[in-house]
């Protein structure tokens, strides 16, 4: 919705979630302001949490492998946020859910699955896509479908040459690479949105329970 002061929106919409003629839900008034403040708090918390995990890994890499860190290569990327942006000459609150910013020159990360390639990318700033791109391959099966259809044997076949915790093999069936779309097809489909800078190959996958 345009940013023309959330508090100044017509009162007939009320302060709770309202429905536009497009069917989309939106917030305005005090409820909208409270929502935006909460989202900003959560966004900052998530960023600090990611940085804390990264710092812990940096220490271990230096202690165990003697590897120094090149912090200039840091990429900050998330796929759930609300930001005030200008598009087509007006200001809008853009909610990216399952999408990442692909503003011109902005670096991002687009993962495949735990057994397929991931990519470092640079945004091209495509305005028709609201300067956005996909946040990953996306699921081809729901978690329920994957648990029902994919067996442990198939998981091992698709993860050949990649380390994972075999104690979690049954739980990991829902994350089998074939439960996701073909990341290469996804990248081809959005070549007008991003430029591939680097292709990454998985050698280890660790997932909590």
* pLDDT at residue 92, rounded to an integer: 87
Assess if residue 90 is contained within a domain: no
Over range 107-123, report the average pLDDT.
96
Which residue segment(s) compose the domain that 139 sits in?
A: 98-209
Tell me the C-alpha distance between 83 and 65, whole Å.
Answer: 39
Which residue, 110, 166, 103, 161, is CA-closest to 138?
110
pLDDT at 209: 59
Among 29-38, 68-77, 97-106, 135-144, name the one with the lowest average pLDDT: 29-38
Residue 12 has pLDDT above 60, yes or no: no
pLDDT category at 198 given cuts 50, 70, 90 is: very high
**H-helix segments, the chain:** 29-60, 143-149, 152-158, 169-172, 183-189
Report whether pLDDT(7) > 50. Answer: no
Decide if pLDDT at 6 tops 50. Answer: no
Residue 26, pLDDT score? 67
* Residue 9 backbone dihedrals phi, psi, to 5 degrees: -65, 155
pLDDT value, residue 15: 37
Q: Per-residue pLDDT for 52 more than 80?
A: yes
- The verdict on residue 93 lying in a domain is no
Among 59, 74, 89, the domain boundary falls at 74
Residue 14 or residue 134, greater confidence = 134
Number of structural domains the chain divides into? 2
pTM for the full predicted model: 0.81
- The stretch 121-127 carries a mean pLDDT of 97
Give yes or no: residues 17 and 53 share one domain. Answer: yes
Q: Can you tell me the mean pLDDT for 97-125? A: 96
- The answer to whether position 83 is within a domain reads no
Mean pLDDT (whole number) for 75-86: 90
Same domain, 120 and 204: yes
Handedness of CA 130, 84, 74, 63 (dihedral sign): negative
List active site positions.
Answer: 135
Judgement on whether residues 154 and 60 belong to the same structural domain of the protein: no
Residue 85 lies in a domain: no
- Residue 124 falls inside a structural domain: yes
8 or 57: whose pLDDT is higher? 57
Give bridge partners of residue 79 from the DSSP assignment. none
- With respect to residue 119, please indicate whether it lies within any of the assigned structural domains: yes
Reply yes or no on whether the pLDDT at 55 is more than 50. Answer: yes
Give the span between the Cα atoms of 176 and 157, in whole angstroms.
10
């Amino acid at each position: 919705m345009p940013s023309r002061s959330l508090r100044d929106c017509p009162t007939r919409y009320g302060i709770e979630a309202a429905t536009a003629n497009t069917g989309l839900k939106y917030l305005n008034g005090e409820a909208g302001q409270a929502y935006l403040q909460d989202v900003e708090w959560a966004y900052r918390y998530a960023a600090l949490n990611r940085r804390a995990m990264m710092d812990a890994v940096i220490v271990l890499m230096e202690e165990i492998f003697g590897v120094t860190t090149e912090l200039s290569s840091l990429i900050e990327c998330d796929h759930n946020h609300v930001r005030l942006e200008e598009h087509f000459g007006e200001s809008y609150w853009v909610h990216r859910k399952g999408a990442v910013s692909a503003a011109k020159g902005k670096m991002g990360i687009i993962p495949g699955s735990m057994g397929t390639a991931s990519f470092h990318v640079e945004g091209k700033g495509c305005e028709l896509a609201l300067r956005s791109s996909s946040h990953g391959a996306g699921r081809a099966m729901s978690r329920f479908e994957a648990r029902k259809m994919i067996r442990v044997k198939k998981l091992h076949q698709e993860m050949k040459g990649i380390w994972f915790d075999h104690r979690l093999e049954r739980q990991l069936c829902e994350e089998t690479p074939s439960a996701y779309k073909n990341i290469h097809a996804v990248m081809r489909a959005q070549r007008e949105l991003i430029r591939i800078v680097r292709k990454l190959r998985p050698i280890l996958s660790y997932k909590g329970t």
